[in-house]
Amino acid sequence: MTFENKVVWITGASSGIGKELALTLSKTNCNLILSSRRKDELERVKSACNNTENIKVLAFDLSHYANMKTIVEDAVKAFGKIDLLINNGGISQRSPIIDTTIEVDKKLMEVDYLGTVALSKALLTHFIENQSGHYVVVSSLMGKFSSPFRSAYCGAKHALHGFFDALRLEHDKDNIKVTMICPGFVNTNVARNALTADGSKQGYQDNMTENGLPVNVFVKRMVRAIEKEKYEAYIGKFEKFGVFVKRLSPKLLHKLVLKSRVR
């Protein structure tokens, strides 16, 4: 596929991967809808983009998933259709299971899983009517295997794979595509904004994230995976090989992850 003349809707577009996607795709001949909770930040991102006349801002909160039908209606009105929904919005978590309140688990599921699923379901009728559509879901390598101190995050990301694999199967007949993007460590503020055991933000960067892929490098690889309509893309440094190690030997991966002591 190509982004030429497409309408692309990006959630989580106010920072990190979403912001870089907006900057990158604004250089192509496509229309963009940028979404996140913070309208002021979205406007700043829009101002930094090329072809701002082809960009609309639509602020909403993924955790308010009962409102998604209205949100989708507003998005479709912006340019008359949606071709791609890039589900990038979400939060991470860093805390031991034994200390993590159930409210934190609930928050991760509401934002990372239920919000994304509700938005995608609300858009599904539009895709079926057009007999065309492409869901891109920014999951994580943690959606394929787990790591200590990320239990709620891993649970939500694993759930996304289960849902969207089923959606791909059910709507193959409607020419609806699904691409799961699985980042490893990417140098964004994801660790700083991660929730800790009591729901407060971690507030600092970790070494693995700091030394992860530069966000512009990651986004270039992500865009190529979308254009190739890949089912899944694992994008990172050495950590991406954990997906393949798990297929061969879950016990070996267990030992390797413990040895790395990723925190």
Question: For residue 82, how many other CB atoms are within 10 A of its CB?
Answer: 22
Strands 84-87 and 232-235 turn out to be unpaired
Please check whether residue 195 is in contact with residue 100, taking contact to mean a CB–CB distance below 8 angstroms. no
The 10 Å CB-count burial string (b at 16+, else e) for 236-255 is: beebbebbebbeeeeeebee
231 classed as catalytic: no
Selected catalytic residue, list 113, 135, 153, 234:
153
Question: For residue 234, how many other CB atoms are within 10 A of its CB?
Answer: 22
What residues have CB less than 8 Å from 72, skipping those under 6 apart?
Answer: 82, 119, 122, 123, 126
Active-site positions read 153
